[in-house]
Structure 1
Amino acid sequence: MLRTSKRGASIGTPGRTRHRPVAAARRTVATGVVAVAAACALGLGALPATADPGPDRAEAADVTGPDNPTPDPAPDPVPDPVLLGDAAPDGEPLPLERLFDNRGVSDDAHPGAADFDGRGDSFSAQELRAAGWTPGRTIAVDGAALRWPATAPGRPDNVLAAGQAVRLSGRGEALTFLVAGGGPGARTRDGAAGTGLVRYRDGSRSTYRLRAPDWRTGPLPTKLLGLPHRNTPDGRRAGTVRLYAVTVPVERGREVSSVTLPRAGREAGLHVFSLALRGPSNGWTGTWAASTSGYTTVGPWTDRTLRLVVHSSAGGPRARIRLENTFSPAPVRIGHATVALRGKGAATAGRAVPLAFGGRSGTELPAGAQQFSDPVGFRVPPDTDLLVSIHLPGTVRALPVHSYTSQTSYLSADGAGDRTGERGGEAYGTALPSWPLLTGVDVAGGPGSVVALGDSITDGERSTPGANRRWPDLLARRLRDQRDVPRFGVLNQGISGNRVVTDRYPGTGASSVLSGVSAEHRLERDVLAQTGARTVVVFEGVNDIRAGTTGDEVIATLKRIAATAHERGMRVAVATIAPCGGFFDCTDEAESYRVAVNRHIRAGLGLYDAVFDFDAAVRDPDRPDRMLPRFDGGDHLHPNDAGMRAFSEAIDLRELI
């Protein structure tokens, strides 16, 4: 039987399997999740806390945040002398920089002045500067404002974790570390790991597990920043060296007083450069989002303006955008940006409203970093096309993009200059099939957001282009047209070609492979750090089984995704894999894996808060390995508009809360 809302909208469907909710209480021992770069912004609605510089450090207050994002960097400061190992492990908490006991960065002219890994090697100050990572600069990652150490090359700039107590205050949704593994005792690409402690003002405490991948051999797809060389006592040596952002849970609502670093030991080499709390997203709802699917060559484009077409799910009286320089090895300069309601084509319906970044019309995004615009009084209606225009004043040859959009955006001519304020569309003569740089639009107010984590089906392949008939769009309309559950925003984090288990984007350099890193590896950036995220619907796996990944491997990864999301207090729903019989590589073996994964999902095993049976919604009862013809988009893998609607209607809205 269908259950109907007070307004008659269907909020239940046949074929849905309902399970008892999984307890969302966060575990006290939590596994750190490597957050791939670029992820999200300078906090989500509140100022994120950073390690307290302490009263004995004459520094200006760090006032970066979503309402006051990172300004352009000032000239590099000359630091005061810093004593090595200024506090004993488990002593009185001190600011992180007072604990620095390792020299990790050297000037290319004096490579022997630092020894990051106990073998005499170090990061290059010149290459860090070329990436936009200047001393003292804030690097915003996944909602946390990490501060790159304000020290000169050859001076102490990180701490080898050995149980030191770090002064940190504030409330947040998670705790992010800027780390790298490297020590004489390190033996594998797994790097260094250990268990640390978070203390709260009320006297309670929680533990966390922190792992720092090795700076030379750790996974490239999950790095925050990669540099092409390392400094050695004998000069520069080629080979990518990495820095990672790793995020762990904290107890929401409790005020943090200090963080004790793991007792990893100096030989293991767990290096901490910075740490910060991710601020809560109170007062904001994500209305649109897109995942970065890769970093690819463009143009080159010189002095051009992008006009990107996006579609709102929820409405609100104020708005802000999020820009991300994910996977990029270099900074990108933003000259100006505006937001407007869309008229026809590239023309606006009314005035294009200027956006600011920390009170300035433009900004620079360091490699791997993100930034929110300042909130602006611009009313966003629900279910409406918006135009976000971004002026790129310099020459760019590669950018992070979301590659498949099912939507045409626009680009001005080379040398056309800043056209962000124009109402007409005449200046935008080039069609643009991707979304570069822009990863989110938020609105003030609202109940928060539901995140759809998926592949090309979620991305809208074979739905009508420009009509916003992807299943997350249709889910947003169902939410808008009822009153029984909150009218959440819906954030589409589908990437064409994406997989649950394996990475597609290689993790370094410009690539034509634009299918992203795995669902597990992008979970932090694309789900947990999203504005107001309350529930995630995971609908992936068909690309894995078609590529030969076993059902057991997919199941194990789905379990880890659910466990991590639950540690952060999120509700987790999983959808069964839809049939793909008739597609060229949907073999009998792939079908056997699909059946096994779906059997696991339907059973629930106490792991998931809800299960939505997308398979049952579209399959042919006479040929269960295939979609019904009326739902088939023509290639037997991707559904058409009717199939997208069937997926949307297979979701019981009650199970989203």
Structure 2
Amino acid sequence: MRRRSFVAGTTALVAGGALAGGTPAAATTPARTQGAARAAATMRAGTWGAGAYGLDGVTFGGRTGRFIVRTSVGGTSPRVRLSNVAGAEPITVGPVHLGLHAGGGAVTPGTNKAVTFGGATTITIAAGAVVLGDPVDLTLPAQADLAVSVHVATPVANVTGHSIAAQRSYLSIDGDHAADESATAYVTPISQWYLIDEVTVETGAAGGTVVCLGDSITDGVGSVSGTNQRWPDFLARRLLANTATAAVGVVNAGISGNRVLWDGASPSSQARLDRDVLSHPGVYAVVLVEGINDIASGKAATAGDLLAAYRQLGERLGMLGIGLLCGTITPWLGSASWTEQKEAIREEVNAAVRAGGGVDFDLAVRDPANPQRLRAEYDSGGGVHLTPAGYQAMADAVDLALLDPARTLIQSMIGVGP
């Protein structure tokens, strides 16, 4: 008897039973993932997020950072999360403000609201921990730029943050300038985010959060800074335009250089699943495209190594009623690490993901004349990272019906074929 696709095939999110055929079985996952429960609920969703890790050599403190981020879904009562997950000791943070970005280092007048923590303007974050700000009395539009201003009085070495933001943020002159609306004090542009790793909102309608988990391809290397043209950004805009998914937020959990099997500058996707995926509210689906760094570095000696890890991610998510939608690995001919032996591993992994009905990102962006290479117009240089047009093609390859939160979930969506 032919073995069924990994955990999937039984879920209604697989295009109404496209893998197995017929009507999907009844739901057996927790009530929070049931379509009927979602239809009646007001959801809190992640409207922005970033994978957090220690930034070696980066010290922050004695001044204020004004960090610019883009919402995916709109909503009310935003909450900001601050992270010290890579910290070796507690740190004290605050004041913190949240407002609508007005360009440069400025905030739109009247929108720069104080973020409190149990009513206090400062908070101490334990080593390895995160803290949530209180809900802020502010309405955030979809696809809006926010300014999150964070003051730290005492300098922190190797601060927790995100190194490749593809977005310009700002550091102030000395002192607390979190409440400033003008850009006058914000004199130093940077391309990193410090301490912040999540903004959530009440959507006012049934919805939830989709997390895009991956490496530099998901992080958006090759896209144009400040234009929000990573592939999860394009996916967020497609979801907003679709009436069935308009209340769904997208969190980008891509980290450049990340691997599935081994830690590097950041923990592996298996090691960081709890903090970068499961800790966000309303998560019901994860889209995974990752593995090229494992293959290129030799850490994935066989396709089976990666496929086993994919299955474990799917099993862990499925236990919580969260669907895993695997994607094929995009071409990389042109990289200095490319070899025919390593390419064979990528192709074997992709064959298994296709057999399981996963998203075929590879097909969407490869050169038809040479499938081992990116299409010329999608190659940002070096043969690995994509242009904005390439990232748009990746987002367009996702069947939005698979990400409809009103559908009934059973364990995992689409995993790995036989």
Give the TM-score normalised by the residue count of structure 1: 0.55
How far residue 486 of structure 1 moved from its aligned partner, in angstroms, is: 4.5
Query: Aligned equivalents of 2:78 and 2:119: distance in 1?
Result: 15
1:542 to 292, 296, 299: 292
2:189 counterpart letter in structure 1: A
Instruction: Report which structure shows greater RCO (CA 8 Å, sep ≥6).
Output: 2
How far residue 401 of structure 1 moved from its aligned partner, in angstroms, is: 1.4
Q: How does 1:335-374 map to 2 (within 5 A)?
A: 335-351=94-110, 352-374=112-134
1:336 counterpart letter in structure 2: P
Matching residue of 2:72: 313
Query: Aligned equivalents of 2:163 and 2:338: distance in 1?
Result: 24
Residue deviations 1:508-559, cap 9 Å, x none?
A: xxxxxxxx11111111111122121110000101111111112111111001
Does 1:622 find its partner at 2:381?
Answer: no
Q: How does 1:150-165 map to 2 (within 5 A)?
A: none
Query: Aligned equivalents of 1:488 and 1:479: distance in 2?
Result: 7
How far residue 589 of structure 1 moved from its aligned partner, in angstroms, is: 1.4
CA contact (8 A) 1:459 1:493 kept: yes
Partner of 2:333, secondary structure, is: coil
2:209 counterpart letter in structure 1: S
Does 1:405 find its partner at 2:157?
Answer: no
2:312 to 545, 551, 560: 560
Does 1:439 find its partner at 2:191?
Answer: no
Query: Aligned equivalents of 2:52 and 2:244: distance in 1?
Result: 34
Partner of 2:107, secondary structure, is: coil
CA contact (8 A) 2:54 2:87 kept: no
Residue deviations 1:326-354, cap 9 Å, x none?
A: 02111111120000111111111223111
- Greater shift, 454-463 or 543-552, is seen at 543-552
Distance 1:24 1:595, change over 3 A: farther
CA contact (8 A) 2:66 2:171 kept: yes
Matching residue of 1:19: 19
Matching residue of 2:180: 422
2:150 to 358, 365, 390: 390
Partner of 2:73, secondary structure, is: coil
Q: How does 1:428-507 map to 2 (within 5 A)?
A: 428-445=186-203, 446=205, 447-505=207-265
- C-alpha root-mean-square deviation of aligned residues, in Å? 1.8
CA contact (8 A) 1:455 1:497 kept: yes
Query: Aligned equivalents of 2:244 and 2:127: distance in 1?
Result: 44
How far residue 631 of structure 1 moved from its aligned partner, in angstroms, is: 1.0
Partner of 2:167, secondary structure, is: coil
1:316 counterpart letter in structure 2: G
Query: Aligned equivalents of 2:61 and 2:344: distance in 1?
Result: 51
More helix by share: 2
Query: Aligned equivalents of 1:309 and 1:335: distance in 2?
Result: 17
Partner of 2:139, secondary structure, is: coil
Unpaired stretches in structure 1, ≥5 consecutive residues: 1-16, 27-250, 254-280, 506-515, 605-609
How far residue 503 of structure 1 moved from its aligned partner, in angstroms, is: 0.7
How far residue 576 of structure 1 moved from its aligned partner, in angstroms, is: 0.4
1:19 counterpart letter in structure 2: L
Query: Aligned equivalents of 1:525 and 1:22: distance in 2?
Result: 31
How far residue 618 of structure 1 moved from its aligned partner, in angstroms, is: 0.7
Partner of 2:45, secondary structure, is: strand
Q: How does 1:99-498 map to 2 (within 5 A)?
A: 283-299=43-59, 301-351=60-110, 352-413=112-173, 416-445=174-203, 446=205, 447-498=207-258
CA contact (8 A) 1:502 1:517 kept: yes
CA contact (8 A) 1:580 1:586 kept: yes
Matching residue of 1:574: 326
2:152 counterpart letter in structure 1: L
Distance 1:418 1:322, change over 3 A: same
CA contact (8 A) 2:61 2:151 kept: no
Matching residue of 1:596: 348
Query: Aligned equivalents of 1:23 and 1:392: distance in 2?
Result: 51
Which is greater in Rg?
1
Matched-pair identity in %: 38
- Greater shift, 331-340 or 482-491, is seen at 482-491
Query: Aligned equivalents of 1:468 and 1:330: distance in 2?
Result: 34
2:117 counterpart letter in structure 1: F
How far residue 485 of structure 1 moved from its aligned partner, in angstroms, is: 3.5
How far residue 395 of structure 1 moved from its aligned partner, in angstroms, is: 2.5
Residue deviations 1:326-384, cap 9 Å, x none?
A: 02111111120000111111111223111100011111101111111000111100001
Partner of 1:589, secondary structure, is: helix
Matching residue of 1:130: none
Query: Aligned equivalents of 2:139 and 2:374: distance in 1?
Result: 41
Query: Aligned equivalents of 1:323 and 1:357: distance in 2?
Result: 11
Query: Aligned equivalents of 1:282 and 1:552: distance in 2?
Result: 41
Query: Aligned equivalents of 1:435 and 1:466: distance in 2?
Result: 13
How far residue 391 of structure 1 moved from its aligned partner, in angstroms, is: 0.7
Distance 1:18 1:646, change over 3 A: farther
Unpaired stretches in structure 2, ≥5 consecutive residues: 1-16, 33-40, 405-418
CA contact (8 A) 2:42 2:202 kept: no
